[in-house]
Amino acid sequence: MNDLNKQFMQEAIRLSVANVQENKGGPFGAVVVKDGRIIARGANCVTSHNDPTAHAEVVAIRKACKLLNTFQLTGCEIYASCEPCPMCLAAIYWARPDKLYYANSKEDAAAIEFDDNFIYEEIAKPVKERKLFTQQIMRDEALEAFEKWKTSVNKIEY
């Protein structure tokens, strides 16, 4: 670990601590770094914004993408105060940063009742065995959008 890694992680951790002290959401912070400087910060604001997707990593990704005017974070690094949950990990993969660093583990999070293991277990199950009622309907009608996408000359692939 070099001094810059430490500096960026300290900022993610600072955001997580401040978030608890300010009662804005869970104890999670994240920063996005490009070219050796922080370009976006995020803290968990699920409860303060009534948004279950407002995890620190997602907030930071949204800010960074807006700033860079792109939907991909190639050339960026993400520093998170905790190992990302399944939703955030998926968002990070979709954002395509070059690197991800985290401090607390998912086991540390589970120890304070932020346990995402049930989601990992649910994802691995066949759809019909999941706890959330899920049923596929109107597939044939929905395929129209996919067909149009497949033949579109204006699409931006991602």
Residues classed as catalytic: 57
DSSP code, position 60:
H
Residue 96 contacts residue 76 (beta carbons within 8 Å): no
Query: For residue 126, with 0-12 CB atoms within 10 Å meaning exposed, 13-18 middle and 19 or more buried, which class applies?
Result: exposed
Which residues contact residue 96 at a Cβ distance below 8 angstroms, ignoring those fewer than 6 apart?
72, 73, 74
Distance CA 135, CA 126 (A): 12
Distance CA 106, CA 85 (A): 7
Of the candidates 80, 78, 71, 70, the residue with the CA atom closest to the CA atom of residue 98: 78
Distance CA 158, CA 83 (A): 25
